[in-house]
Amino acid sequence: MKYLLSLCLVALAMPLWAADSASSREYTVGVVPQFEQRKLFETWQPILSALEKRTGFRLKLIGSPKIPVFEKKFLAGQYDFAYMNPYHLLKANDSQGYVPLVRDDSRMLKGVLVVAKDSPYEALSDLDGSMIAFPSPNALGASLLMRADLDGQFNLKFIPRYVQTHSSVYLNVALGQTAAGGGVLSTLKKQPEDLQAHLRILYETQGIKPHPLSAHPRVPESDREKMRDAWLALASTAQGQQLMARIPMFQSVSATMDDYTELRDRGLDDYYILD
């Protein structure tokens, strides 16, 4: 009788233990710092809080002051989940085995080269020998794709100036600190309207599939799928769409490595700089 009673007590306790185990798992989340830290946390913390409710995980957002710091962290495997640019994903997959979970399917990632609205620059050749601002050497659309095009396609000679964030690029151009600057359309549209009004786009790169949320292989596959499912479920709600539009990610879909393999043929390794 005592044996049967013990079995019953164990059976009753198991669901509670399992629930506690799932809710006690903490995962770190890294986000490429396209914006300054306060704006990044304002954008991502509400999303992670909503995902915590759907997954039972505790998700800790880990900030990075600049993109090279973010790169060193994911190359060392310090993030369990990370929102990174597609070229970063290739490097993270090669070094640590990160795999993509979700991405935006509503748009393509394009680099844009902006100049001051009242500047005399009308063609890329007008910028020969000028200083051009970039967020960092390895920001994909804003720097890698852009520098590869300017150098490889147009043989443009320029002086790169790395200013840490996309927002700083646009400010440098508007204030006349640099002749031009590399960014991406989504971050340009996030700038204050009065800043946008002082800029114009001189050139755009070819588009590629945008940034994925990726997972380190140490995260169990079941938890990776739970995170993917929770993200897609959240994205299907009005609340989720409003939150994710700030990333921006407007139409979330599952992502695979096949979405990004074309990048390996772009010759970007020649322009990749690890600080």
Parse the chain into domains and list their residue ranges. 23-107+209-271, 111-204
The better pLDDT of the pair 13, 182 is held by 182
Q: pLDDT value at position 21?
A: 53
Tell the CATH topology of 111-204: D-Maltodextrin-Binding Protein; domain 2 (3.40.190)
Q: What is the pLDDT of residue 154?
A: 96
* Band (275; pLDDT cuts 50, 70, 90): low
Token pair belonging to 171: 């400010």
- pLDDT range class, residue 166, cuts 50, 70, 90: very high
Q: What is the pLDDT of residues 103-140, one digit of tens each?
A: 999 999 999 999 999 999 999 999 999 999 999 998 89
pLDDT at residue 18, as a whole number: 42
Same fold, 23-107+209-271 and 111-204: yes
Q: How far is the C-alpha of 229 from the C-alpha of 101, rounded, in Å? A: 9
Q: Check pLDDT > 90 for residue 234.
A: yes
Running DSSP on this structure, what letter comes out for residue 260?
Answer: T
> How large is the average pLDDT for residues 206-218?
96
Prediction pTM value: 0.80
Which residues have a Cβ under 8 Å from the Cβ of 252 and sit 6 or more positions away? Answer: 102, 103, 104, 105, 231, 232, 235, 244
pLDDT of residue 212: 98
Pick the CATH number of 23-107+209-271 from 4.10.80.40, 3.40.190.10, 2.40.110.10, 2.60.120.650: 3.40.190.10
Query: Which residue, 84, 204, 88, is CA-closest to 149?
Result: 204
In this predicted structure, the answer to whether residue 86 has a pLDDT above a threshold of 80 is yes
Q: Is the peptide bond before 86 cis (omega within 30 degrees of 0)?
A: no
| pLDDT exceeds cutoff 80 at 37 | yes
